[in-house]
Structure 1
Amino acid sequence: MKRVKATVLATLCLGCIGSVALAHSGVKNPAVLARMENMKSIGAGMEVLSNMVKGKVAFDAAKARAAAGDIARHSTQTVALFEAPETDPKTEAKPLIWERFDDFTTKAGATETLAIALSQSLETPDDLNAGFMQLGASCKACHRDYKD
């Protein structure tokens, strides 16, 4: 059951990754582009983990920890990249971010914390499945409220 949930979450995460790649075309505001590039990097790490969870590639603890580390490293930049209420016609960030910046900061911090923990503790496929589900749920919680 856990593997099925993780696989479903992995599929949803890959859908988010694809929409981010398309959104970058035509962005004129450099601050918005920097945010999108940061999210794209987080998405790339999630894709590595997702492919392992779904069994598309063999589980490799070292690669999974490295991907989680990349997610953590880029997650540390998220709040700073969103401090200024920059906008662009191509942005997917809702204005609600700046109206509820404390909540946004808390959710971004939770993702960072989970990614750091996963990058330091992941050893087995079960660790990956559990950690990926938590990390994906954290991403989804923020995207649900703050992404168009």
Structure 2
Amino acid sequence: MHRTALAAIGLVVLSGIDVLAQQMDSTDAIHQRKELMKDNQEQMQALTGMSRGQVPFNIATAQAALQQIEQNARQIPSLFLSHQERGPTAALPVIWERKADFDARAAKLERDVTDALARISDLGSLQVAIQQVGQNCGGCHETFRRKER
């Protein structure tokens, strides 16, 4: 009888640990993607500053910013683990309902940035590239992200 009770208690403890581990993974993924999106925003701000003439155009700086966004885009699908996430997030449930579409949009962002890297040679080409990349980001946020109040 004691063995059965101990086994039952052990299962409850292990189940609790598993749930806690899942919540920690979820919280970590939320934190990682917030940092990634914040980094994308910073990269886009640097690029936008150049495209608006607020900062001198520098092709090396523009390429570095786009390369960072490209790398981040590759990671996006893996940071949206489960609809059962716990923690503060602006991610809408539609991400998991339409996960293939969401992942395809991340892949499109990566392709758009790769194309932009190949085309940038001057301020005009940077302006065109930023518009395309920005539309991609905005379209995804419009569909898959809770609006800020």
Task: Report the CA distance between 1:68 and its aligned residue.
Answer: 0.5
Amino acid at match of 2:77: V
1:59-95, CA deviations, whole angstroms, 9 ceiling, x for partnerless residues? 1111101100110011110011114335344201001
Q: Does 1:94 align with 2:92?
A: yes
What's 2:129 paired with? 131
Which structure 1 residue ranges, 5 or more long, are not aligned? 1-27
Which amino acid counterpart does residue 140 of structure 1 have in structure 2? G
Structure 2 equivalent of residue 52 of structure 1: 50
Q: Deviations over 1:111-143 (max 9, x none)?
A: 111112222331111110100000000001100
Query: Percent same amino acid among aligned pairs?
Result: 30
TM superposition score normalised by structure 2: 0.76
Residue matched to 1:8: none
Of 115, 137, 144, the residue aligned with 1:146 is 144
Give the aligned partner of residue 67 of structure 1: 65
Tell me if the contact between 1:65 and 1:120 (Cα under 8 Å) persists in the aligned partners: no
- 1:32·1:86 contact (CA, 8 Å) conserved in 2? no
The answer to whether the 8 A contact 1:107-1:142 is kept is yes
Aligned pair count?
121
CA contact (8 A) 2:30 2:89 kept: yes
TM-aligned CA deviation for residue 99 of structure 1: 0.2
Partner residue in 2 for 1:115: 113
Q: For 1:29, what is the secondary structure of its paired residue?
A: helix
Answering whether residue 74 of structure 2 is matched by residue 76 of structure 1, we say yes
Structure 2 gaps, min length 5:
1-25
What's the TM-score, normalizing by structure 1?
0.76
Q: Deviations over 1:2-30 (max 9, x none)?
A: xxxxxxxxxxxxxxxxxxxxxxxxxx911
**C-alpha distance in structure 2 between counterparts of 1:143 and 1:45, whole Å:** 17
